[in-house]
């Protein structure tokens, strides 16, 4: 349980962050927990796995990759503890392997859409979006990137470091400069925390502003998302919860101390409607957002909840 708590804390404090990394860390935690679980009965095994699953899922509410990973990793069919344990270990390892493979595939598939000379704008720090950009560069395409700072946590600094390591020419801008620079951009590529059945995207706060500006300037808006970022529960109309984080990420408490009429809001994600999205690059190919339902139905591999 100690390791599970450690992983949960890392996800909560964002030491482990980004929807894909969160998913892999949760699958690893479930696997290791199941491997070391000492129980007297199958009932006890089932209850413990259920509790740990719910605990991990509760760490961050928005990235659907987290409940998807936990569900996929913790599946078992046997009524025998040792067999069920092995099933979880196998399923978790399979999930982790597939997640790595998915990033590679997205890079390969998406990079074919990048042209020599493209200026790409990206937001926050998405490993899936970066996989497309770095693969395009590695295959000889002469590209450059405009990366947003992504306030308040400034994940853009991780992005520029990563791009610099690949020697990709990169410009860092503040979030409010997105529209100012859009005219010179060829493609916007962002990641996803969740994709709803209607094709709407949930990603880092400010993503919808990039989409609006791209739409206005008639630039292509591309989302890079593994199939485990699609949200099954949105099929039955469940909304995706937007995480609201602490005010002190935005401004130091001392600044607010003598401002009794001021409140701070800090939503971590926003919605981008499907009509602003040109394509979603997934590990099973490029799809239009209207195909999100099909991906959920045919590729997520578990039963839908009863309505």
Residues of the shown chain interacting with ligand RUB in the complex, contacts defined by CB under 6 A: 17-21, 63, 124, 126-128, 155, 191-193, 203-204, 268
CB atoms within 10 A of CB 292: 26
Task: Evaluate whether 133 touches 118 at the Cβ level (below 8 Å).
Answer: no
124 is catalytic: yes
Rounded Cα–Cα distance for residues 112 and 225 (Å): 16
Task: Evaluate whether 155 touches 125 at the Cβ level (below 8 Å).
Answer: yes
State which residue, 46 or 157, has the beta carbon closest to ligand RUB.
157
State which residue, 6 or 44, has the beta carbon closest to ligand RUB.
6
Task: Evaluate whether 152 touches 178 at the Cβ level (below 8 Å).
Answer: no
Q: Looking only at Cα atoms, what is the longest distance across the chain?
A: 65
Find the shortest distance in angstroms from Cβ 112 to ligand RUB: 19
Find the shortest distance in angstroms from Cβ 17 to ligand RUB: 4
Rounded Cα–Cα distance for residues 66 and 68 (Å): 5
Interior CA angle at 263 toward 259 and 265, to 5°? 145
Length of the chain measured in residues: 307
Between the two ends of the chain, the Cα-to-Cα distance in Å is 33
State which residue, 99 or 235, has the beta carbon closest to ligand RUB.
99
Rounded Cα–Cα distance for residues 56 and 66 (Å): 8
Query: Three-state secondary structure along 165-218?
Result: HCCCCEEEECHHHHHHHHCCCCEEEECCCEECCCCCEEEECCHHHHHHHHHHCC
Find the shortest distance in angstroms from Cβ 158 to ligand RUB: 9
State which residue, 42 or 108, has the beta carbon closest to ligand RUB.
108
Residue number with the shortest CB distance to ligand RUB? 191
186 is catalytic: no
Token pair of 30 as six digits: 């479930």
| Active-site option among 118, 124, 175, 278 | 124
Rounded Cα–Cα distance for residues 132 and 278 (Å): 16
| Active-site option among 118, 175, 193, 283 | 193
State which residue, 49 or 133, has the beta carbon closest to ligand RUB.
133
| Binding site per annotation, positions for substrate | 17-20, 60, 203-204, 229
Task: Evaluate whether 267 touches 205 at the Cβ level (below 8 Å).
Answer: yes
Rounded Cα–Cα distance for residues 89 and 111 (Å): 33
Find the shortest distance in angstroms from Cβ 245 to ligand RUB: 8
Find the shortest distance in angstroms from Cβ 178 to ligand RUB: 15
Find the shortest distance in angstroms from Cβ 131 to ligand RUB: 8
Instruction: Report phi then psi at 162, rounded to 5.
Output: -60, -45
State which residue, 137 or 228, has the beta carbon closest to ligand RUB.
228
Residues designated catalytic: 124, 193
């Amino acid at each position: 349980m100690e390791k599970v708590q450690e992983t949960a804390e890392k996800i909560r404090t964002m030491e482990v962050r980004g929807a894909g990394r969160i998913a892999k860390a949760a699958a690893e935690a479930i696997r290791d927990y199941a491997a070391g679980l000492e129980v007297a009965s199958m009932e006890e095994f089932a209850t413990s796995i259920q509790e740990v699953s719910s605990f991990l899922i509760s760490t961050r509410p928005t990235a659907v990759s987290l409940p998807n990973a936990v569900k996929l990793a913790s599946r078992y069919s046997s009524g025998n503890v040792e067999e069920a344990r092995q099933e979880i270990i196998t399923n978790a390892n399979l999930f982790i392997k597939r997640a790595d493979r998915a990033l590679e595939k997205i890079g390969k598939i998406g990079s074919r859409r990048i042209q020599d000379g493209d200026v790409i704008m990206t937001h926050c720090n998405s490993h899936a979006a970066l996989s497309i950009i770095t693969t395009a560069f590695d295959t000889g395409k002469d590209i450059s990137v405009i990366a947003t700072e992504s306030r308040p946590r400034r994940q853009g600094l991780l992005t520029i470091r990563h791009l610099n390591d690949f020697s990709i020419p990169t410009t860092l801008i503040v979030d409010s400069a997105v529209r100012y620079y859009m005219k010179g951009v060829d493609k916007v590529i962002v990641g996803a925390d969740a994709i709803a059945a209607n094709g709407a995207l949930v990603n880092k706060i400010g993503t919808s502003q990039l989409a609006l500006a791209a739409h206005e300037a008639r630039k292509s808006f591309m989302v890079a998302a593994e199939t485990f970022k699609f949200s099954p529960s949105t099929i039955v109309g469940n909304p995706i919860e937007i995480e609201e984080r602490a005010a002190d990420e935005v401004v130091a408490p001392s600044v607010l101390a003598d401002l009794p009429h001021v409140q701070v809001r800090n939503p971590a994600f926003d919605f981008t409607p499907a009509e602003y999205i040109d394509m979603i690059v997934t590990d099973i190919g490029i799809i239009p957002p209207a195909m999100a339902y099909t991906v959920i139905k045919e590729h997520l591999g578990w039963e839908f909840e009863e309505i």
